[in-house]
Amino acid sequence: MTLQDACRIVREGIADVFGIKLNRVGGLTKARRIRDIALVHGIQMFVMATGGSVMADSEAAHLAQSIPEEFIRASWSCQDMLTADVAPGKGCRCIDGMMTIGEEPGLGCEPDETIFGDPVAV
């Protein structure tokens, strides 16, 4: 979905819910604009990363928490489906089915670069 798609959907009244995948819409800034359009027009939202690590899930969780409860349908986390945790014990986590974020600034996590191994190129 693009910002133009969101405007067209609102103009034509063809959706009750937006699915906002942060990477697919072009990042957090564009996702925020789509969120704002949805809020103004009373459209509920699903918020998710396109599938990624705790870092991507943390970004989605922060955006989801900026949406009033009556407009958020869900926020999907896929970090538990990955074999490697790039920021062990940091960032948003699913606890009893709820995504949580910490009090740390920014996303609340930095990757443990030793997990990635040697760089392929510098």
What distances in angstroms separate CA 15 from CA 32, 58, 79, 83, 90, one per listed residue? 18, 27, 29, 36, 36
The dihedrals phi and psi of 120, each to the nearest 5 degrees, come to -75, -35
Cα 76 to Cα 22: distance, rounded to the nearest angstrom? 12
Per DSSP, 65 falls in state: H
**What pLDDT score was predicted for residue 35?**
97
Which residue range forms the structural domain that includes residue 23?
3-116
When the pLDDT of each residue in the chain is averaged and rounded to a whole number, the result is: 90
Number of domains in the chain: 1
- Domain membership of residue 122 (yes or no) is no
**What pLDDT score was predicted for residue 11?**
96
pTM: predicted TM-score of the whole model, two decimal places: 0.84
The two three-digit tokens of residue 53, written as one number: 């690590």
**What pLDDT score was predicted for residue 43?**
97
pLDDT tens digits, one per residue of 16-58: 999 999 999 999 999 999 999 999 999 999 999 877 788 889 9
Cα 91 to Cα 101: distance, rounded to the nearest angstrom? 6
- CATH number, domain of 33, equals 3.20.20.120
